[in-house]
Structure 1
Amino acid sequence: MKFDGYRIMARIDHDEVKLFTRNGHDWTHKLPDQAKALAGLGLESAWLDGEMVVANEQGVPDFQALQNVFEAGRSGNILYYLFDLPYLNGVDLREVPVEERRAALSTVLKTSKDPLLRFSDAFGEDPEALLNSACQMQMEGLIGKRLGSPYVSRRSSDWVKLKCKHRQEFVIVGFTDPKGSRSAFGALLLGLHDRDSGELRYAGKVGTGFTEATLNSIHQQLKPLQTKKAAVVNPPSGAEFKAVHWLKPSLLAEVAFAEMTKDGSVRHAVFHGLRDDKPAKDITEERPTAVKTTPAKKTVAKPTTSKKKVEPAPSQVGLEQGKVRITHPDRVIDASTGATKVQLAQYYASVAEWILPQLKDRPVALVRAPDGIAGELFFQKNAERLAIPGITTLDQQLTGQPMMVINNAEALIGAVQMSTVELHTWNATTDNLDKPDRFVLDLDPDPALPWKRMVEATQLTLTVLDELGLKAFLKTSGGKGIHLVVPLTRKHGWDEVKDFSHAIVSHMAKMLPERFSAVSGPKNRVGRIFIDYLRNGLGATTICAYAVRTREGLPVSMPIFREEVPTLKGGNQWNIHNAHERLAEVGDEPWADLKKTRQTITAEMRRRVGMK
Structure 2
Amino acid sequence: MADLGAYLDKRDFGATPEPQADGTPSALGLRYSMQNHDATRLHWDLRLEWEGVLLSWAVTRGPSLDPADKRLAVRTEDHPLSYLTFEGTIPKGHYGAGTVMLWDLGWWQPLEPAARGLAKGHLKFRLHGRRMTGDWNLIRMARRDKRDNWLLVKIDDEAAGQRDPVARYRTSVASGRSFAAIRADKAACLPDHSGTRPGHRPVQLATLTDDLADHATHWHELKLDGYRAQVALGAGGPRVFTRAGHDWTDRFADLIPALRDIPCASALIDGEIVAGAGLQGFGTLQDAIAAGGPFGYVAFDLLQLDGRDLTDHPLTERRAALEGLLRPLPPMGAVALSPVIHGPADEALALICGNGGEGVIAKRTDAPYRGGRSRDWLKIKCRRQGTFRIVGWQASTSRGRPFASLALACDRDGGLAYMGKVGTGFDQDTMADLARRMEPLVRRDAPVKAPRREVAGMTWIDPDLTARIDYAETTAQGRLRHAVYLGLHDEGPPMRTPAPTVAISSGDRVIFDKPRLTKAGLAEYYRAAAPLMLPELAGRPLSLLRLPDGMAGERFFQKHPGKGFPAALKIQQIADKDGTPSSYAYVTDVEGILGAVQMGTVEFHIWGARRDRLDRPDRMVFDLDPDEGLGFAATRRAALELRDGLSGLGLRSWAMLSGGKGVHVIVPLRRTAGWDTVKLFSRGVAMLTAQAHPDRFTAEMSKAKRKGRIFVDWLRNERGATAIGPFSVRARPGAPVACPVSWDELGRIRKAGAFSTAQALERGWADTDPPPAQTLSAAVIAALDAALTA
Give the whole-Å Cα distance in 2 for the aligned partners of 1:363 and 1:212.
Answer: 42
Give the whole-Å Cα distance in 2 for the aligned partners of 1:219 and 1:442.
Answer: 32
Pairwise CA distance, 1:181: 5.3
- Say whether residues 1:396 and 2:577 are aligned partners: no
Residue in 1 aligned with 2:560?
Answer: 382
Pairwise CA distance, 1:458: 0.9
- Say whether residues 1:537 and 2:718 are aligned partners: yes
Which one-letter code corresponds to 2:705 in the other structure?
Answer: N
Pairwise CA distance, 1:176: 9.1
Residue in 2 aligned with 1:291?
Answer: none
Q: Does the CA contact (< 8 Å) of 1:455 and 1:566 recur in 2?
A: yes
Range that drifts further, 525-534 or 368-377 = 368-377
Residue in 2 aligned with 1:517?
Answer: 698
What SS does the corresponding residue of 1:509 show, helix, strand or coil?
helix
Pairwise CA distance, 1:538: 0.8
Q: Does the CA contact (< 8 Å) of 1:392 and 1:406 recur in 2?
A: yes
Residue in 1 aligned with 2:521?
Answer: 343
- Say whether residues 1:482 and 2:525 are aligned partners: no
Aligned partner of 1:229 among 366, 383, 396: 366
Give the whole-Å Cα distance in 2 for the aligned partners of 1:241 and 1:436.
Answer: 35
Which one-letter code corresponds to 1:581 in the other structure?
Answer: E
- Say whether residues 1:359 and 2:537 are aligned partners: yes
Listed as ranges, the matches of 1:591-610 within 5 Å are 591-595=769-773, 597-598=774-775, 600=777, 602-610=780-788
Q: How many residues align?
A: 347
Give the whole-Å Cα distance in 1 for the aligned partners of 2:671 and 2:783.
Answer: 17
Q: Does the CA contact (< 8 Å) of 2:728 and 2:737 recur in 1?
A: yes
Aligned partner of 1:500 among 675, 681, 697: 681
Give the whole-Å Cα distance in 2 for the aligned partners of 1:503 and 1:409.
Answer: 38
Which one-letter code corresponds to 1:536 in the other structure?
Answer: N
Deviation digits for residues 220-243 of structure 1 (CA, Å, limit 9, x no counterpart): 9888xx78426xxxx9x9643799
Residue in 2 aligned with 1:447?
Answer: 628
Deviation digits for residues 530-575 of structure 1 (CA, Å, limit 9, x no counterpart): 0101111110000011111111111111111112221112111112
Listed as ranges, the matches of 1:396-475 within 5 Å are 396-399=574-577, 400=580, 401-475=582-656
Per the normalisation by structure 2, the TM-score is 0.40
What SS does the corresponding residue of 1:591 show, helix, strand or coil?
coil
Give the whole-Å Cα distance in 1 for the aligned partners of 2:781 and 2:720.
Answer: 26
Per the normalisation by structure 1, the TM-score is 0.51
What SS does the corresponding residue of 1:434 show, helix, strand or coil?
coil
Q: Does the CA contact (< 8 Å) of 1:503 and 1:611 recur in 2?
A: no
Gaps of 5+ in 2: 1-209, 229-270, 273-344, 383-469, 471-495
Residue in 2 aligned with 1:174?
Answer: 218
1:168–1:599 distance in 2 versus 1, CA, 3 Å: same
Deviation digits for residues 157-206 of structure 1 (CA, Å, limit 9, x no counterpart): xxxxxxxxxx9986354379969958999xxxxxxxxxxxxxxxxxxxx9
Give the whole-Å Cα distance in 1 for the aligned partners of 2:677 and 2:564.
Answer: 34
Pairwise CA distance, 1:524: 2.0
Q: Does the CA contact (< 8 Å) of 1:473 and 1:591 recur in 2?
A: yes
Give the whole-Å Cα distance in 2 for the aligned partners of 1:419 and 1:460.
Answer: 38
Give the whole-Å Cα distance in 2 for the aligned partners of 1:439 and 1:212.
Answer: 39
Q: Does the CA contact (< 8 Å) of 1:364 and 1:426 recur in 2?
A: yes
Deviation digits for residues 5-36 of structure 1 (CA, Å, limit 9, x no counterpart): xxxxxxxxxxxxxxxxxxxxxxxxxxxxxxxx
Deviation digits for residues 244-267 of structure 1 (CA, Å, limit 9, x no counterpart): 569xxxx9x9xxxxxxxxxxxxxx
Aligned partner of 1:552 among 733, 746, 753: 733
Give the whole-Å Cα distance in 2 for the aligned partners of 1:374 and 1:176.
Answer: 49
Give the whole-Å Cα distance in 2 for the aligned partners of 1:368 and 1:168.
Answer: 36
Give the whole-Å Cα distance in 2 for the aligned partners of 1:361 and 1:212.
Answer: 37
Q: Does the CA contact (< 8 Å) of 1:473 and 1:594 recur in 2?
A: no
When Rg is computed on C-alpha atoms for both structures, the one with the higher figure is: 2
Which one-letter code corresponds to 2:595 in the other structure?
Answer: G
Give the whole-Å Cα distance in 2 for the aligned partners of 1:548 and 1:606.
Answer: 35
Give the whole-Å Cα distance in 2 for the aligned partners of 1:180 and 1:572.
Answer: 29
Listed as ranges, the matches of 1:157-168 within 5 Å are none
1:394–1:243 distance in 2 versus 1, CA, 3 Å: closer
Q: Does the CA contact (< 8 Å) of 1:444 and 1:529 recur in 2?
A: yes
Give the whole-Å Cα distance in 2 for the aligned partners of 1:532 and 1:325.
Answer: 38
Residue in 2 aligned with 1:15?
Answer: none
Which one-letter code corresponds to 2:741 in the other structure?
Answer: I
Q: Does the CA contact (< 8 Å) of 1:181 and 1:590 recur in 2?
A: no
CA RMSD of the aligned region, Å? 3.9
Quote the sequence identity (%). Answer: 32
Residue in 2 aligned with 1:334?
Answer: 512
What SS does the corresponding residue of 2:685 show, helix, strand or coil?
helix
Listed as ranges, the matches of 1:89-128 within 5 Å are none
Deviation digits for residues 83-116 of structure 1 (CA, Å, limit 9, x no counterpart): xxxxxxxxxxxxxxxxxxxxxxxxxxxxxxxxxx
Give the whole-Å Cα distance in 2 for the aligned partners of 1:243 and 1:371.
Answer: 38
Listed as ranges, the matches of 1:123-138 within 5 Å are none
1:600–1:422 distance in 2 versus 1, CA, 3 Å: farther
Aligned partner of 2:546 among 368, 385, 404: 368
Listed as ranges, the matches of 1:39-54 within 5 Å are none
Give the whole-Å Cα distance in 1 for the aligned partners of 2:374 and 2:608.
Answer: 41
Higher relative contact order (CA 8 A, sep 6+): 1
Which one-letter code corresponds to 2:353 in the other structure?
Answer: T
Pairwise CA distance, 1:391: 2.2
Residue in 2 aligned with 1:115?
Answer: none
Which one-letter code corresponds to 1:529 in the other structure?
Answer: I
Give the whole-Å Cα distance in 2 for the aligned partners of 1:408 and 1:610.
Answer: 43
Give the whole-Å Cα distance in 1 for the aligned partners of 2:680 and 2:351.
Answer: 38
Residue in 1 aligned with 2:467?
Answer: none
Gaps of 5+ in 1: 1-166, 186-205, 254-271, 273-312
Residue in 2 aligned with 1:580?
Answer: 761
Pairwise CA distance, 1:354: 1.2
Which one-letter code corresponds to 1:240 in the other structure?
Answer: G
Give the whole-Å Cα distance in 1 for the aligned partners of 2:744 and 2:360.
Answer: 29
Pairwise CA distance, 1:490: 1.8
Q: Does the CA contact (< 8 Å) of 1:348 and 1:412 recur in 2?
A: yes
Give the whole-Å Cα distance in 2 for the aligned partners of 1:437 and 1:423.
Answer: 18
Residue in 1 aligned with 2:499?
Answer: 317
1:364–1:216 distance in 2 versus 1, CA, 3 Å: farther
Give the whole-Å Cα distance in 2 for the aligned partners of 1:511 and 1:556.
Answer: 32
- Say whether residues 1:214 and 2:353 are aligned partners: yes
Q: Does the CA contact (< 8 Å) of 1:503 and 1:609 recur in 2?
A: no
Q: Does the CA contact (< 8 Å) of 1:437 and 1:488 recur in 2?
A: yes
Q: Which consecutive segments of 4 or more residues in structure 1 shift more than 6 A?
A: 167-170, 175-180, 182-185, 215-223
Q: Does the CA contact (< 8 Å) of 2:606 and 2:724 recur in 1?
A: yes
Residue in 1 aligned with 2:194?
Answer: none
Give the whole-Å Cα distance in 2 for the aligned partners of 1:461 and 1:212.
Answer: 41
Q: Does the CA contact (< 8 Å) of 1:324 and 1:389 recur in 2?
A: no
Q: Does the CA contact (< 8 Å) of 1:488 and 1:600 recur in 2?
A: no
Pairwise CA distance, 1:482: 0.5
Deviation digits for residues 400-457 of structure 1 (CA, Å, limit 9, x no counterpart): 4221111111111111011000001111111211121121100000122122111211
Which one-letter code corresponds to 1:368 in the other structure?
Answer: R
What SS does the corresponding residue of 2:690 show, helix, strand or coil?
helix
Give the whole-Å Cα distance in 2 for the aligned partners of 1:526 and 1:176.
Answer: 52
Q: Does the CA contact (< 8 Å) of 2:218 and 2:365 recur in 1?
A: no
Aligned partner of 2:707 among 504, 517, 526: 526
Q: Does the CA contact (< 8 Å) of 2:608 and 2:717 recur in 1?
A: yes
1:542–1:171 distance in 2 versus 1, CA, 3 Å: same
Listed as ranges, the matches of 1:77-88 within 5 Å are none
